[in-house]
């Protein structure tokens, strides 16, 4: 995952647990959509707010692989300033 933030002092990284919680929230939100309890627009807002795309077959979604996942955070600072 690569994130770019031009105001790096405002960037807050997540722990692995927080990232897994966000993945789980997206998964639960998809089930709420299927049950008619949530709109797709609200789901999309949740995805934007977490910065994640749901992938039920992805590494972060795998309960079996989570113990082996170490999230690395590398802030990227643009080399070119505002114009």
Specify the pTM: 0.71
Q: Would you kindly state where each structural domain of the chain is located, as residue ranges?
A: 13-68
- 7-56 tens-digit pLDDT: 666 666 778 888 899 999 999 999 999 999 999 999 999 998 888 888 99
Taking CB atoms within 8 Å and a gap of at least 24, the contacts of 76-79 are 76/2, 76/3, 76/4, 76/5, 77/5, 77/6, 77/8, 78/4, 78/6
């Amino acid at each position: 995952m690569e994130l770019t933030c031009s105001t790096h002092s405002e960037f807050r990284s997540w722990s692995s647990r927080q990232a897994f919680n966000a993945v789980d929230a997206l998964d639960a939100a998809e089930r709420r959509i299927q049950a008619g309890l949530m709109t797709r627009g609200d789901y999309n807002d949740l995805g934007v707010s977490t910065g994640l795309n749901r992938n039920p077959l992805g590494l972060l979604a795998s309960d079996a692989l989570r113990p082996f996942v170490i999230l690395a955070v590398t802030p990227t600072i643009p080399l070119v300033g505002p114009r």
